[in-house]
Amino acid sequence: MGLARLMKMAFDGADLAPLGQSLISRAEKDPDDADALMDLSIILQLKYQPEIALDVQARALGIKTLYHLPAAGNAAIRLLAIMAPGDLMTNTPLEFLVEGSTISLDMLYVGTGLPLPSPLPDHDLLFIAVGESTGTRPLLEELAEIMKEWPRPVLNQPESILKTSREEAPACLAPIAEVIMPSSLRTARGTLATGPLPAFPFIIRPVDSHAGHGLAKIENAGEISSYLEAMPEPAFFVSPFFDYKSADGMYRKYRVLLIDGQPYACHMGTSENWMIHYLNAGMAESPEKREEEARFMADFDTGFGKRHRVALQGIHAALHLDYLVIDCAETRDGRLLVFEMDTGAVVHAMDPADVFPYKAPQMKKVFSAFYDMLTSTLDAHV
């Protein structure tokens, strides 16, 4: 079934337990049913059982490493994605981008004990879907060498993905005057507890965390011990806090997608709290917030996208990624404040149309742009 279908079911509030049980039954009847195990692994992750999920995923990958999502009808483009074992944040969720299209997607998992097969699956294009993290950096470095002699066009080169790390990205963007990306200092737990402290307030999060896990603003020295008591991780990223409150007292966080260097609006969250995540910003409950998001999308090319055209062009020139997700805000002086850049954030069309009628047309534009990028890349290599 794959990630897109299963996450949509979870997003809509469906009870995945019966489906999970049927997948367990399938795997019991046929221990080599890797597809059932991979779908079961996704369900377990969606139900917040990560350790069991990764064990099931490992069993599936021990049976086979190539998984196929067929095109809707005859395949016009055969896309092969290189992926790494891991949780739902490890790889670019391409299934959302190609679902219902004439793109067939083969997902090939590689890593320790999972070598590239010979011969390779037939494909027209290769997409490196492995996102940057501490665990995937050795794989990306290895893939960077392999890609130098790859027989087909490659999208999202590994050496460019490596630049999206919280440590490297701020340095890459530093020459762009129109952009602010706070530096991230990797700090050991012991240093936080006993060593010299950065200036207050600062932002802290565990290394390799996403979606706000463990993210906090530290206002004074007394808050550090309380934070460490709640967070068992051995290392953290520490960054200066930039107050991006708008003139009306609200915080606004934007998700922008660069496809072949062109920017597209994905969503906008508005909150009274500096720590905004779209799912906790109360967008579904507020017609006023949704109206503002709809305007953000409708006027993107003449509004946000135009205001930050130079900044976004600079980011593309600095990283050279064909597909890049940027979570950002605007400072009071008009610069682009970048919180995070990666290739693994979910870009989707799962929101209910009756509540978010403006989302589906925008996502259709995004998915069409992705398809056009694949087509133009193929045409350029004929």
Tell me if 104 sits within 8 A of 77, measured CB to CB: yes
Q: What is the pLDDT of residue 194?
A: 78
Residue-wise pLDDT tens digits, 67-77: 999 999 999 99
Tell me if 152 sits within 8 A of 125, measured CB to CB: yes
Residue-wise pLDDT tens digits, 120-154: 999 999 999 999 999 999 999 999 999 999 999 99
Kindly tell me the sign of the dihedral angle through the C-alpha atoms of 274, 278, 279, 285: positive
Place 277 in a pLDDT band, splitting at 50, 70 and 90. Answer: confident
Instruction: Say whether pLDDT at 328 is over 80.
Output: yes
Q: What is the pLDDT of residue 193?
A: 77
Smallest CA-to-CA distance from 268 within 365, 276, 260 is with 276
Q: Rounded to an integer, what distance in angstroms lies between the CA atom of residue 134 and that of residue 129?
A: 16
Instruction: For residue 328, report the phi and psi dihedrals to the nearest 5 degrees.
Output: -155, 175
Q: What is the pLDDT of residue 213?
A: 83
Place 235 in a pLDDT band, splitting at 50, 70 and 90. Answer: very high
Residue-wise pLDDT tens digits, 185-222: 999 998 887 777 778 999 999 998 877 788 999 999 88
The larger pLDDT score, comparing residue 36 to residue 214, is at 36
Instruction: Say whether pLDDT at 168 is over 80.
Output: yes
CB-count exposure of residue 163 (10 Å: 0-12, 13-18, 19+): middle
Q: Rounded to an integer, what distance in angstroms lies between the CA atom of residue 320 and that of residue 156?
A: 8
Residue % of the chain over a pLDDT of 70: 100
Q: Which two tokens stand for residue 53?
A: 């999920």
Instruction: Say whether pLDDT at 110 is over 80.
Output: yes
Q: Rounded to an integer, what distance in angstroms lies between the CA atom of residue 325 and that of residue 1?
A: 25
Q: Note the maximum CA span of the chain.
A: 63
Report the 3 state secondary structure along the chain.
CCHHHHHHHHHCCCCCHHHHHHHHHHHHHCCCCHHHHHHHHHHHHHCCCHHHHHHHHHHHHHHCCEEEECCCCCCCEEEEEEECCCCCCCECCHHHHHCCCCEEEEEEECECCECCCCCCCCCCEEEECECCCCCCHHHHHHHHHHHCCCCCCEECCHHHHHCCCCCCHHHHHCCCCCEECCCCEEEEHHHHHHCCCCCCCEEEEECCCCCCCCCEEECCCHHHHHHHHHCCCCEEEEEECCCCCCCCCCEEEEEEEEECCEEEEEEEEEECCCCCCHHHCCCCCCHHHHHHHHHHHHCCCCCHHHHCHHHHHHHHHHHCCCEEEEEEEECCCCCEEEEEEECCCCCCCCCCCCCCCCHHHHHHHHHHHHHHHHHHHHHHCC
Residue-wise pLDDT tens digits, 48-85: 999 999 999 999 999 999 999 999 999 999 999 999 99
Q: Rounded to an integer, what distance in angstroms lies between the CA atom of residue 250 and that of residue 101?
A: 39
Place 92 in a pLDDT band, splitting at 50, 70 and 90. Answer: very high
Instruction: Say whether pLDDT at 280 is over 90.
Output: no
Mean pLDDT for the stretch of residues 101-109: 98
Instruction: Say whether pLDDT at 279 is over 80.
Output: yes
Mean pLDDT for the stretch of residues 85-111: 97
Return contacts of 44-47, CB within 8 angstroms, 24+ apart.
Answer: 44/20, 45/87, 45/88, 46/6, 46/7, 46/10, 46/16, 46/88, 47/16, 47/17, 47/20
Q: What is the pLDDT of residue 45?
A: 97
Tell me if 377 sits within 8 A of 155, measured CB to CB: yes
The verdict on pTM exceeding 0.85 is: yes
Q: What is the pLDDT of residue 195?
A: 72
Instruction: Say whether pLDDT at 247 is over 90.
Output: yes
Q: What is the pLDDT of residue 198?
A: 79
Mean pLDDT for the stretch of residues 276-303: 95
Give me the chain's average pLDDT, please. 95
Q: What is the pLDDT of residue 99?
A: 94
Instruction: Say whether pLDDT at 117 is over 80.
Output: yes
Q: What is the pLDDT of residue 376?
A: 97
Q: What is the pLDDT of residue 197?
A: 78
Residue 306, C-beta contacts closer than 8 angstroms, at least 6 positions apart: none
